[in-house]
């Protein structure tokens, strides 16, 4: 690990619990790198919240105030933290199962409120910690322990879901495009509102093996080959980019943030004014 | 808040009690018959510098108050029946992470959607054992509007002092009935804040307890402590542990953490107990009927008393046992359910006295006349 990032990790808790070839460590490093490159953050005021699953074990390794919550509920806990103390810089680390299956309701509503929380969603297309059951992000037709004859369900497009729900900064990267992830997370931090970064990460053990994607290194190469940057995609048009994963900054718009609006009410009410 | 006498409903007294106790955060979701608590706090909190948020569901309401409490806020939610069922996983999270918070449960008739506007006391066992696993809990139960105010303050104080979720168990009758209340002056209200660590970041272990204590000091988020909070079994540093010794150490501590403080936590009221040969045990709105029944029966020369637990969990077991070792020969446990607390009471008293129940769960209150009939040997209940 880079020397400059060590103070952001609980070094005594490493090595991590993730399987050989798992991309989560790469994504976690990009989060630390983005925080390191965001000098406006007071590190004592950074709070990182996670749910349950492989991705959500990240909080144990980061040297901030951290909360490892219940399955799917990270954003609900984080909303409480951010509303209670708007001066805290709140991050949420979650997975595709945690955020879009059991936590789907909290995900869309946190986005709808445009509350200033930075979400990094590790998408490994599977419920990894429980051993490989299909998630809302397991592609149709693919195998999982609970779709032994192929998954019949449709996927979410997570960035589209977030944009539709009201997020103001949305990006997507992969564990291959780690520099892109760092820059997206940094821009998400700058956004005063709800930011969602989808980080595509390989699960060779519980997902790749069953679907014959090879090992972790093979799956990283596939991330490279299957992705196309949003700017290039715009030039090529939809026909030439069909089936590709669009990465990069997908949405960036300024809208009033939840706490800014509520703080104005508190100020008014304390002056005894009426709305 | 006005100090002159007013006629207000129990749910309002809860909301005003919360403000008086220093509650500065509410998150919740609308549900009958507790909604007024949220509505009133939505109005009062910002005027008092606090924050209110209506969450997307009941689960989120519980999660948000735990999050807020981790930043040092006094956090509060209110719900009823189905909403309380939904909150249970995170109530257990608050218990194992020892996060102070208060959950108001204005009980309605169940199971399921049941009778949203009908009174019941069917959540008494859910309050004790509703979340999976073994976990400590305090549950308080007011019988009047003024008591809604005062026990709300107690609930907040207990949550802070003992680092625990605390239930305030109203029933629909107590939540919606209107009674005279005179809010005391601020100077007369005791407010307890959680004990915060004086240690520096780096020296502080969030679940370390001082010798002789079972309640760890608190380090608020944002102060540089870099705490880790998890619902997994953890050691004194807050990090997960797979050691079965640590499982026992943590559970032994939290499951016994109220034991040295029962004199403070156990609240109950007794009327006519000294010479009573028959003692009615009742709580919530049923206790009001029991008081009325006991008065009438005593006027007629009957040796009857009433024991009213205001702390339902932990249950005032020692005091009840003492009562059964006096003149008392017969206990009648009365509640608006199929006998939830009666099982607990029977366990405590059965060796010493005759035990009977007076139960009703049809959406109607238990009346004084029904209890009088029961004491006299009738069987309407």
By C-alpha distance, which of B255, B380, B230 is closest to B314? B255
| Cis peptide leading into residue B229 (ω within 30°) | no
What pLDDT, on the 0 to 100 scale, is given for residue B2? 63
Which B residues 146-175 touch A at CB under 8 Å?
none
Q: Say what percent of chain A tops pLDDT 90.
A: 97
Q: Is A104's pLDDT higher than 80?
A: yes
Whether residue B59 is predicted with pLDDT greater than 90 in this model: the reply is yes
Q: Is B26 in CB contact (< 8 Å) with chain A?
A: no
Report the SS3 class of residue A189.
helix
- How many residues are recorded in chain B? 381
- The answer to whether B130 and B136 have CB atoms below 8 angstroms apart is no
* Predicted local confidence at residue A212, as pLDDT: 98
Q: How confident is the model at residue A45 (pLDDT cuts 50, 70, 90)?
A: very high
Question: Is a pLDDT exceeding 90 seen at residue B92?
Answer: yes
CATH number for the segment(s) B6-188 = 3.40.50.970
**Residue B380: pLDDT over 90:** no
Total structural domains within chain A: 1
CA quadruple A78, A81, A82, A83: dihedral sign: positive
B7 phi, psi to nearest 5 deg: -110, 110
Residue A16 lies in a domain: yes
Q: Would you give the distance in Å from CA A27 to the centre of its chain? A: 9
Q: Average the pLDDT over B314-321 and give the result.
A: 97
**Is residue A275 in a domain?**
no
Is residue A226 one of the residues assigned to a domain? yes
Specify if A78 maps to a domain. Answer: yes
Residue A62 domain flag:
yes
Residues of chain B with CATH 3.40.50.920: 270-375
Instruction: Return d(Cα A119, Cα A75) in angstroms, integer.
Output: 9
How much is the pLDDT for A199?
Answer: 98
Q: How far is B362 from chain A (nearest CA, A)?
A: 35
Q: What pLDDT score was predicted for residue B1?
A: 58
Is A12 a member of any domain?
A: yes
Q: Which helix (H) or strand (E) holds B268?
A: strand B268-271
Residue ranges, CATH 3.40.50.970, chain B? 6-188
> Mind telling me how many Å the CA of B225 is from chain A's nearest CA?
7
| Cβ contacts of B172 within 8 Å, gap of 6 or more | B33, B106, B107, B108, B117, B118, B119, B120
In which band, very low, low, confident or very high, does the pLDDT at B381 lie, cut at 50, 70 and 90?
Answer: confident
Match 């219940």 to its residue by tokens.
A70
**Residue from A67, A91, A94, A104 whose CB has the most chain B CBs within 10 Å, to mutate:** A67
| CATH number of the domain within which A133 lies | 3.40.50.970
Residue among B231, B236, B239, B190 at smallest CA distance from B213: B236
Among residues of chain B, what percentage have pLDDT more than 90? Answer: 97
Average pLDDT of chain B to the nearest whole number: 97
Helix (H) or strand (E) holding B109: strand B101-109
Q: Stretch B102-113: mean pLDDT, rounded?
A: 98
CATH 3.40.50.920 given to domain B270-375? yes
Residue A174's domain comprises: 3-270
Contact B67/A65, CB-based, under 8 Å?
no
Q: List A229's β-bridge partners, or say none.
A: A247
Taking contacts as CB-CB distances below 8 angstroms, the residues of chain B near A93 are none
Tens digits of per-residue pLDDT, A46-80? Answer: 999 999 999 999 999 999 999 999 999 999 999 99
Contact (Cβ atoms closer than 8 angstroms) between residue B293 and residue B300: no
Joined tokens for residue A97: 């199962």
Any chain A CB within 8 A of the CB of B22?
no
CB contacts, 8 Å: A69 with chain B: 63, 93, 231
Entry pTM = 0.98
In this prediction the ipTM stands at 0.97
Q: Convert the pLDDT of each residue in B122-176 to its tens digit.
A: 999 999 999 999 999 999 999 999 999 999 999 999 999 999 999 999 999 999 9
Provide the sign of the torsion angle of the four alpha carbons B325, B326, B330, B335, taken in this order: negative
Is the per-residue pLDDT at A157 higher than 70?
yes
Beta-strand runs (E) in chain A: 46-50, 65-68, 89-95, 117-123, 169-174, 195-200, 227-229, 245-252
B358 CB within 8 Å of a chain A CB: no
Whether residue A275 has pLDDT greater than 70: no
Residue of B nearest to A268 (CA): B47
Q: What is the mean pLDDT of residues B294-299?
A: 98
Is A9 part of the contact surface with chain B (CB cutoff 8 Å)? no
Q: Please state, in angstroms and rounded to a whole number, the distance separating the CA atoms of residues B10 and B171.
A: 10
Average pLDDT of the residues in A135-141: 98
């Amino acid at each position: 690990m880079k020397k400059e990032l060590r103070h952001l990790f609980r070094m005594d808790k490493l090595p991590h619990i993730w399987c050989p070839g798992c991309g989560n460590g790469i994504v976690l490093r990009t989060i630390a790198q983005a925080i390191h490159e965001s000098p406006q953050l007071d590190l004592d005021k950074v709070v990182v919240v996670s749910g349950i699953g492989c991705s959500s074990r990240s909080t144990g390794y980061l040297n901030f105030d951290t909360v490892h919550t219940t399955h799917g509920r990270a954003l609900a806990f984080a909303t409480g933290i951010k509303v209670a103390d708007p001066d805290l810089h709140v991050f949420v680390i979650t997975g595709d199962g945690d955020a879009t299956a059991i936590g789907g309701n909290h995900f869309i509503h946190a986005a709808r409120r445009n509350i200033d929380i930075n979400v990094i969603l590790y998408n490994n297309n599977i419920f990894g910690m429980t051993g490989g059951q299909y998630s809302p992000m397991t592609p149709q037709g693919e195998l999982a322990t609970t779709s032994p004859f192929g998954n019949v369900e449709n996927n979410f497009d997570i960035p589209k879901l977030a944009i539709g729900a009201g997020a103001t900064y949305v990006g997507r990267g992969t564990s291959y495009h780690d520099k892109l992830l760092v820059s997206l997370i940094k821009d998400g931090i700058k956004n005063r509102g709800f930011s969602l970064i989808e980080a595509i990460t390989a699960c060779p053990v519980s997902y790749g093996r069953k679907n014959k994607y090879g090992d972790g290194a093979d799956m990283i190469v596939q991330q490279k080959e299957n992705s196309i940057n949003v700017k290039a995609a715009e030039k090529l048009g939809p026909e030439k980019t069909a089936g590709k994963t669009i990465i990069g900054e997908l949405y960036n718009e300024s809208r009033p943030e939840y706490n800014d609006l509520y703080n104005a009410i508190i100020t008014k009410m304390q002056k005894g004014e009426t709305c | 808040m006005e100090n002159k006498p007013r006629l207000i409903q129990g749910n309002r007294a809860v909301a005003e009690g919360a403000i008086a106790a220093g509650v500065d955060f509410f998150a919740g979701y609308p549900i009958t018959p507790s909604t007024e608590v949220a509505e009133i706090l939505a109005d009062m909190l910002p005027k008092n510098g606090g924050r209110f948020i209506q969450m997307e569901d009941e689960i989120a309401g519980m999660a948000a108050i735990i999050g807020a409490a981790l930043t040092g806020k006094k956090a509060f939610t209110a719900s009823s029946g189905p909403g309380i069922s939904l909150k249970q996983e995170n109530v257990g999270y608050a218990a194992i992470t020892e996060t102070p918070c208060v959950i108001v449960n204005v009980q309605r008739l169940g199971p399921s959607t049941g009778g949203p506007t009908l009174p019941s006391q069917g959540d008494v066992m859910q309050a004790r054992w509703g979340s999976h696993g073994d976990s400590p809990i305090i549950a308080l139960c007011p019988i009047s509007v003024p008591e809604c105010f005062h026990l709300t303050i107690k609930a907040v104080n207990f949550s802070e002092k003992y680092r625990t979720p605390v239930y305030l168990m109203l029933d629909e009758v107590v939540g919606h009935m209107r009674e005279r209340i005179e809010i005391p002056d601020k100077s007369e209200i005791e407010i307890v804040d959680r004990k915060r660590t004086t240690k520096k970041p780096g020296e502080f272990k969030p679940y370390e307890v001082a010798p002789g204590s079972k309640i760890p000091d608190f380090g608020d988020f944002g102060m540089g402590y870099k705490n880790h909070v998890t619902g997994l079994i953890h050691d004194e540093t807050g990090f997960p542990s797979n050691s079965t010794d640590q499982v026992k150490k943590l559970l032994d501590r939290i499951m016994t953490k109220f034991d040295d403080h029962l004199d403070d936590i156990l609240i109950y009221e007794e009327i006519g107990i000294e010479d009573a040969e028959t003692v009615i045990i009742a709580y919530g709105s049923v206790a009001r009927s029991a008081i009325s029944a006991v008065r009438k029966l005593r006027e007629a020369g009957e040796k009857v008393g009433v024991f009213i637990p205001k702390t339902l969990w932990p249950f005032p077991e020692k005091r009840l046992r003492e009562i059964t070792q006096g003149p008392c020969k017969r206990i009648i446990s009365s509640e608006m359910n199929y006998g939830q607390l009666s099982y607990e009471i029977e366990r405590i008293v059965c060796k010493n006295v005759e035990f009977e129940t007076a139960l009703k769960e049809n959406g109607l209150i238990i009346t004084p006349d029904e209890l009088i009939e029961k004491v006299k040997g009738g069987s309407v209940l």
